[in-house]
Amino acid sequence: MENQHKSERKAPLQHLAIIMDGNGRWAKKRSLPRISGHQQGVQAVVQTVDECIKVGIRYLSLFAFSSENWGRPQKEVDALMELLLQFLSSQRQRMLDGGIRLRVIGDRSRLSESVCAAIAVAEAETATGETLTMILALSYGGRDEILRAAKQLAGQAIRGEIDLQEIDNKKFSTYLDTAEIPEPDLLIRTSGERRISNFLLWQTAYAEFYFSEVFWPDFDAAELHKALADYQQRKRRFGLTDDQLDSDIDPQL
Ligand code: FPP
């Protein structure tokens, strides 16, 4: 029988996740308003999506707005929401032509009606895209996502709709916003910071991490390829030993 972990280790990178950090510092360095950094950041998103498609990545998760970002000055929050609306409208045809399926994760109850409506339309229109799934994390926090999933499960358990014995890692994952999306293989964070900042906490349990020194607006195809080349050198062990991974026996974790 094919060893699942052995094959996963050799499998191509399927899901890339990115913490797009450094927009503000990019702008500050140029004496520009912070929003210029975010605007330039959108260009980096567009280029990165194109490059991911070129190299055959199937899932791209982008941390666009965290639960904590609601605490930023209202002007910046409004500008980011406006940028998102512009992005969804300007990229609509590109997503449809390119087979890009949009999926938004996060707590939508905090988003405005107009943003929720635009997301719902974009998700519905792109639902059949098969080339790349672009997962936009908006109003997203990993702990919040896990709590929402736990509350939903607890409610079902109280009502007797689910047996506690049924709840394992696989079952729990289906209650997360990322249900049915494979876990990220590689997480990139730009701007030299080395933190997870509440992004995909559950899903990155076995992800490889890569830290790029460039600010997000400067992230380009060359930077992406550096990260991909580094990833290719990694040996993923999923908590097992080399011998187990090299054998044909399934360790049955
Ligand atoms: C972090 O930089 C970036 C964000 C909080 C927002 C990311 C948003 C974009 C790239 C643009 C919008 C994206 C889409 C897909 C519409 P920062 O502001 O924390 O930078 P700093 O740490 O240098 O201040």
Distance CA(15)–CA(176), nearest Å, equals: 17
Report CA(242)–ligand 1 centroid distance (Å). 39
Q: Is residue 32 part of a domain?
A: yes
Give the pLDDT confidence score for residue 247 in this predicted structure. 66
As for how many domains the chain has, the answer is 1
Q: Provide the CATH number for the domain around residue 137.
A: 3.40.1180.10
Give the pLDDT confidence score for residue 12 in this predicted structure. 84
Low-confidence ranges of the chain (pLDDT < 70): 1-11, 241-242, 244-253
Q: Is residue 123 part of a domain?
A: yes
Give the pLDDT confidence score for residue 238 in this predicted structure. 77
Q: Is residue 207 part of a domain?
A: yes
Give the pLDDT confidence score for residue 6 in this predicted structure. 46
Number of the ligand 1 atom closest to the C-alpha atom of 88: 16
Q: Is 107 a catalytic residue?
A: no
Ligand 1, CB cutoff 6 Å, lining residues = 20-25, 38, 41-42, 45, 62, 64, 69, 83-84, 87, 136, 216
Give the pLDDT confidence score for residue 235 in this predicted structure. 83
Q: Is residue 172 part of a domain?
A: no
117, 125 contact by CB (below 8 A)? no
Spot the catalytic one: 3, 69, 218, 220.
Answer: 69
Q: Is residue 151 part of a domain?
A: no
Number of the ligand 1 atom closest to the C-alpha atom of 63: 7
Give the pLDDT confidence score for residue 1 in this predicted structure. 32
Q: Is residue 153 part of a domain?
A: no
Q: Is residue 155 part of a domain?
A: no
Residue numbers of the domain that contains 114: 2-143+183-243
Q: Is residue 23 part of a domain?
A: yes
Q: Is 69 a catalytic residue?
A: yes
Give the pLDDT confidence score for residue 7 in this predicted structure. 43
